[in-house]
Amino acid sequence: MRAAIMATQIKAAPKVGMVSLGCPKALVDSERILTKLRADGYGLSPDYAGADVVLVNTCGFLDSAKEESLEAIGEAIAENGRVIVTGCMGNEADVIRARFPDVLAITGAHQYEDVVSAVHAAAPPARGAFVDLVPEGGLKLTPRHYSYLKISEGCNHSCAFCIIPSLRGKLVSRRIDAVLREAEKLVSAGTKELLVISQDTSAYGVDTRHESREWKGRDVRAHMTDLARELGGLRTSEGVAPWVRLHYVYPYPHVDDVIPLMAEGFLTPYLDIPFQHAAPNVLKAMKRPANEAKVLERIRNWRNIAPDIAIRSSFVVGFPGETEADFEYLLEWLDEAQLDRVGAFRFEPVEGAQANALPNPVPEEVKEERFQRIMAKTAAISAAKLAAKVGRTLPVIIDEIGEPDEDGSIGATGRSQADAPEIDGHVYLRDVAATVKEGDIVSVAIEDADEHDLFGVIAG
320, 330, 314: which is closest to 363 by C-alpha? 320
Rounded to whole angstroms, the Cα distance separating 53 from 56 reads 10
- Has 23 been labeled as part of a binding site? yes
Q: Say whether 162 counts as a known binding-site residue.
A: yes
Contacts of 376 (CB under 8 A, 6+ apart): none
Answer whether 20's CB lies under 8 Å from 57's CB: yes
- 411 is known to lie in a ligand binding site: no
Q: Is 47 among the annotated ligand-binding positions?
A: no
Q: Residue 401: which residues within 8 A CB-CB, separation 6 or more?
A: 410, 412, 432, 436, 437, 438
Is residue 7 part of an annotated ligand binding site? Answer: no
Give the 3-state secondary structure of 124-193: CCCCCCCCCCCCCCCCCCCCCCEEEEECEECCCCCCCCCCHHHHHCCCEECCHHHHHHHHHHHHHCCCCE
- Orientation angle between helical segments 364-387 and 324-337, nearest 10 degrees: 10
**Cα(290)–Cα(372) distance, integer angstroms:** 25
Q: Which has the closest alpha carbon to 232: 206, 256, 262, 276? A: 262
Rounded Cα gap, residues 263 and 273, in angstroms = 18
Can you tell me the distance from the alpha carbon of 307 to that of 457, in angstroms, rounded to the nearest whole number? Answer: 23
Residue 341 annotated as binding site: no
Instruction: Look at residues 345, 367, 349, 368 and name the one whose alpha carbon lies nearest to residue 358.
Output: 349
Question: Which residues sit in the known binding site?
Answer: 23, 59, 88, 155, 159, 162
Residues placed in the known binding site for [4Fe-4S] cluster: 23, 59, 88, 155, 159, 162
